[in-house]
Homo-oligomer: A and B are copies of this chain.
């Protein structure tokens, strides 16, 4: 019997707070979990800086990856197995893609990717195809297998049914993270009846569809998603930490480019700064590495880098105020900008507009959601209908992008003190702090 069909002599289980247990019987899955590239995900938090807002949100991407794998395993083994529309051959491929879909994430990946112009999907592919332990395990299945796994994750794999298990508007990825993030933050949103959704999922040609009788469970899932975005993912305090983090990385890069002499050399950042990072360098970058440097940089002589690192490490975050990009507000921003300069507080680092935007559900999927397939319902008569045409609730919010702008600034620096008293007072007035 080949490696791809090899089973562990006894099923292994991981205790999981969300799914109770994660079950592993396939040798390939077990071996993948043991690779250093997969274990690295323990050192990258699932929700980036969110733990600074919700102290429970300290869970890692490994945590989530096991969850996505478990959901896909349940869909296939408990519900799809034996159905004529489902090709049993795709089972292992689906499981591997589920387990590995987040493999390329960097530390605090949102800011990290933005500042260094990186793309975690690119690195996921590189890890799967490159000279790695993961690749060696996958290649034992078949020399073409790593490529197939990479294609599923990249959504280019020809069997779109497999792709849709991992990437659609109601895939295993989302179903896991909504529940998991709700569990660890402790919020009461994020609950929906996944059990029921799994039960009404049906494989249909190139996609997973949902039996019409499960529509209300799907509505509930969509609403959970909406609430999680605004209550957790876009929480203004989290975004404050994100703003500071971005500014730290910007500042360090700028200093490096200008030839600044670091007390503590950012050796592991050189190739990132230079825009030419190797896979090996990339894999060393995790959140313990980042936090190590930020702690070191608190002692740098550059006051901006040092201050921002202090803020991030010790949670001395920026405050915020509502900001609507109207003419009035843009003028006020201009004015604040020049007042900050006068007060000796560099507005490039200390006066930041941040925007969050969400599209709760859409059927033609523009923007961020571009590659997510819409949700299709399967009616009793065999017809297939797109969700928002059947559900009034979903129709009501479908395609309605909601955006929120906030202006971030260090309130503590704007308080009293003898110097620049008048300018600070003007700033405080404009920011309505007094």
Report which of B35, B187, B288, B313 forms a contact with A39, defined as CB distance below 8 A.
Answer: B313
- At the interface, yes or no: A393 with Cβ under 8 Å from chain B? yes
Known contacts A216-B231, A313-B39; A58/B55 CB under 8 A: no
CA distance A62 to B226 in the complex (A): 29
Known contacts A21-B195, A63-B56, A393-B226; A186/B16 CB under 8 A: yes
Q: Is the CB of B284 within 8 A of A295?
A: yes
Q: Give every chain B residue within 8 A of A397 (Cβ-Cβ).
A: 392-393, 396
Query: Per-position contact with B for A32-50: 1 when CB-CB < 8 Å, else 0?
Result: 0011100100110000000
CA distance A231 to B287 in the complex (A): 29
What is the copy number of this chain in the assembly? 4
Q: Is the CB of A63 within 8 A of B58?
A: yes
- How many residues of A are counted as interface, with CB atoms below 8 angstroms from the partner's CB atoms? 65
Report which of B54, B227, B230 forms a contact with A15, defined as CB distance below 8 A.
Answer: B54
Q: Is the CB of B34 within 8 A of A316?
A: yes
- By beta carbon, the residue of chain B nearest A184 is B17
CA distance A314 to B286 in the complex (A): 13
Q: Give every chain B residue within 8 A of A230 (Cβ-Cβ).
A: 216
- At the interface, yes or no: A188 with Cβ under 8 Å from chain B? yes
- By beta carbon, the residue of chain B nearest A216 is B231
Q: How many whole Å from A320's CB to the nearest CB in chain B?
A: 14
- By beta carbon, the residue of chain B nearest A230 is B216
Query: Per-position contact with B for A298-336: 1 when CB-CB < 8 Å, else 0?
Result: 000000000000100111100000000000000000000
Query: Per-position contact with B for A193-217: 1 when CB-CB < 8 Å, else 0?
Result: 1011001000000000000000010
Interface pairs A-B: 8 shortest CB-CB? A396-B396, A17-B186, A288-B291, A288-B288, A292-B292, A188-B193, A36-B314, A17-B56
Could you list some 22 contacts between A and B, CB below 8 A?
A15-B54, A15-B56, A18-B186, A34-B316, A35-B314, A39-B313, A42-B51, A42-B58, A42-B315, A43-B291, A58-B59, A188-B196, A189-B193, A191-B191, A284-B295, A286-B291, A287-B288, A288-B291, A288-B292, A289-B291, A289-B295, A392-B397
Besides A15-B186, A17-B185, A288-B289, 6 more A-B contacts (Cβ < 8 Å) are A55-B62, A58-B58, A188-B196, A189-B193, A289-B295, A393-B397
